[in-house]
Copies of this chain bind each other. A is one copy, B any other.
Amino acid sequence: MMFRTAELGRKVSKEEFDQLAPALRIELVDLQQKLRTAGFPVLLVFAGVDGAGKGESVNLINEWMDPRWIETHAYGDSTDEERQRPEYWRYWRDLPANGKIGCVLRSWYSAPVLDHAQGRISDAELDERLARINTHEKMLADDGALILKFWMHLSKDEQRKRLKKLEKDPNESWRISKTDWANWERYDQFIAAAERTIRVTSAGHAPWSIVEGTDPRYRSLSVLTTIRDAALRHMEAIAMKKRLAAALREEEKKKVTTIQPTLTDTADGPHVVADIGRQGTGMVSVRLPHQPTVLEALDMKQTLTKKDYNSRLAIARARLHHLFRQAKAAGISTTLMFEGWDAAGKGGTIRRITSSMDSGDFKVIPIAAPTDEEKAHHYLWRFWRHLGRAGHATIYDRSWYGRVLVERIEGFATTEEWMRAYGEINDFEEQLVDSGMVLGKFWLHITKEEQLTRFKDRQSIPWKQWKLTDEDWRNRDKWDDYESAVNDMIERTSTRKAPWTLIEANDKQFARVKVVETVIKKLEEALERRGLLVSEKKKDK
């Protein structure tokens, strides 16, 4: 029923087309110039019935506009590279940067629609995969991307005519195989799956356009004017948003009582009540007494003697070496991620792990300020980029959690952006874990006093002075803000699939052993789930 409006015989005559096309081309080229500096990417997704003009539309876009600012990606079966990573890795990798237009054929919609049409997945499974698509597209749109999706349509009868015509044409008949006719036989199931898909994934931030594909001239003008109009509106909307934000700031200044944004407002993660006592609204008098936080609940007195440290670390590193090799053989990737206070000992801890590994099997990725190229993408893009192949280990020294720590504290991300990030990060990590990856998330915790001792230590020892910067001192001044942000982070992103491990790191030896033994446990669990650990133990004997 949804496609009835795309079976009305819409068409454009040759005369009309020849009159309109030159003017439209000028408008499109002009538009593209503006888009280049508008600060957002354009994502054009083409799906629909075979023969309805998906590829032709993409060709026309590349022909009528400047192809240097257009990328086209057509996804087929996964490559080796792709199969070794989470499903969406390839889509992240190919995301257009700000100012560019990305055309996508055989996109994230292909497999769900075909799998459902061919009876391989149930309604519930289709909905689950569509929910993943919705999350993906919403994340990009929230970041400013313009997303337009085109469903190119032909009626069953039109498709048959089209296949017949191609078959008869000696120059085109090679295009038509038995598969095409087999697909045509399943037209009704295909359309049913498509209707459900379009309904569930239609959203204001990523609308579907259903285009009647029979007449190439109508089809072309439809697609291109839709892109033109949506892009103009999007640029206008983004300009309007900036003006409104300015008006909002003016409004805020005028008000006598100000309301602090607190986490309940727009966050994606669950709200935890403990903050109420600290973040009042300024209009009420009753405050909850201070309550213990996750960090405060840690026993920071834990230590390890030199002797215990040496013996436990030696055993652990041998075991770790063994397990990493096993994981490699089994194709299990490992991602370890370290966050913590300045001078908490992240670097030293990471070295205790990497020294148990064969070089070439891992990479350590220190996260500093993003590059220009990275800034022109969604903030998660640079982490997707680095995801290792099957069997490899990737170790992050600082991570995507910068979004809800430094970017929150320093105001590099807006309140809306860092609040949204909890949900985005949970989703990202779920995709890692679901793809079979071992994920370790470590917060190295030291007390404020211990940090001062270490800073002073660094100051006084010449070969350690490079480690201490002015920024470290500035960060230290914001200790309370960071502590509050860390508590929120742990509360909202310690999920069952991707829990945080909190490390009491006042004693470096204790911290290192706890980290290494935690990694061992995670690897053992992963191998055991695949039935590989038992045989390993036997081999040891």
Q: Which stretch, A198-206, A333-341, A386-394, touches the partner chain B?
A: A198-206
Given A225-B276, A229-B276, A288-B225, do A495 and B199 touch, yes or no (CB 8 Å)?
A: yes
Answer yes or no: A23 CB below 8 A from chain B CBs: yes
**Are A16 and B289 in contact, with the CB atoms below 8 A?**
yes
Given A5-B294, A288-B222, do A270 and B27 touch, yes or no (CB 8 Å)?
A: no
Please, what's the 1-or-0 string for A158-172, where 1 marks a CB less than 8 Å from any CB in chain B?
000000000000000
Interface centre among A226, A271, A293, by most chain B C-beta atoms within 10 angstroms, is A271
**Are B281 and A259 in contact, with the CB atoms below 8 A?**
no
Q: How far in angstroms is the closest Cβ of chain B from A240?
A: 7
**Are B233 and A265 in contact, with the CB atoms below 8 A?**
yes
Interface centre among A12, A204, A218, by most chain B C-beta atoms within 10 angstroms, is A204
Q: How far in angstroms is the closest Cβ of chain B from A152?
A: 11
Name the CB-closest residue of B to A291: B10
**In the complex the two chains form, what is the Cα distance from A27 to B276 in whole Å?**
15
Residues of chain B within 8 A of A118, CB atoms compared: none
**Are B259 and A251 in contact, with the CB atoms below 8 A?**
no
Residues of chain B within 8 A of A223, CB atoms compared: 273
Residues of chain B within 8 A of A293, CB atoms compared: 5, 8
Q: Which of A245-268 contact B (CB under 8 A)?
A: 247-248, 251, 259, 262, 264-268
Q: Which stretch, A124-132, A305-313, A361-369, A374-382, touches the partner chain B?
A: A124-132
Q: How far in angstroms is the closest Cβ of chain B from A274?
A: 7
**Are B283 and A232 in contact, with the CB atoms below 8 A?**
yes
**In the complex the two chains form, what is the Cα distance from A203 to B6 in whole Å?**
36
Given A202-B423, A276-B225, A426-B199, do A236 and B251 touch, yes or no (CB 8 Å)?
A: no
Answer yes or no: A209 CB below 8 A from chain B CBs: yes
Q: How far in angstroms is the closest Cβ of chain B from A202?
A: 5
**Are A8 and B297 in contact, with the CB atoms below 8 A?**
yes
Q: How many A residues touch B, CB cutoff 8 Å?
A: 94
Name the CB-closest residue of B to A258: B236
Answer yes or no: A208 CB below 8 A from chain B CBs: yes
**Are B128 and A204 in contact, with the CB atoms below 8 A?**
no
**Are A273 and B494 in contact, with the CB atoms below 8 A?**
no
**In the complex the two chains form, what is the Cα distance from A122 to B27 in whole Å?**
52
Residues of chain B within 8 A of A1, CB atoms compared: 494-496, 499-500
Selected contact of A2 from candidates B207, B240, B262, B494, CB within 8 Å: B494
4 nearest CB pairs, A to B: A204-B266, A1-B494, A208-B270, A1-B499
25 A-B residue pairs with CB within 8 Å: A1-B495, A1-B499, A2-B494, A4-B294, A5-B491, A6-B272, A8-B291, A13-B289, A122-B124, A202-B270, A202-B271, A209-B270, A209-B271, A209-B272, A210-B271, A218-B291, A221-B286, A225-B286, A225-B288, A226-B276, A229-B262, A232-B283, A232-B284, A236-B259, A244-B248
Q: A127-B127, A148-B264 are in contact. List 20 more A-B contacts (CB 8 A).
A: A1-B495, A2-B491, A4-B491, A8-B291, A13-B289, A20-B288, A123-B128, A127-B128, A195-B496, A199-B426, A202-B268, A207-B264, A207-B270, A209-B271, A225-B273, A225-B276, A225-B286, A228-B284, A229-B262, A244-B251
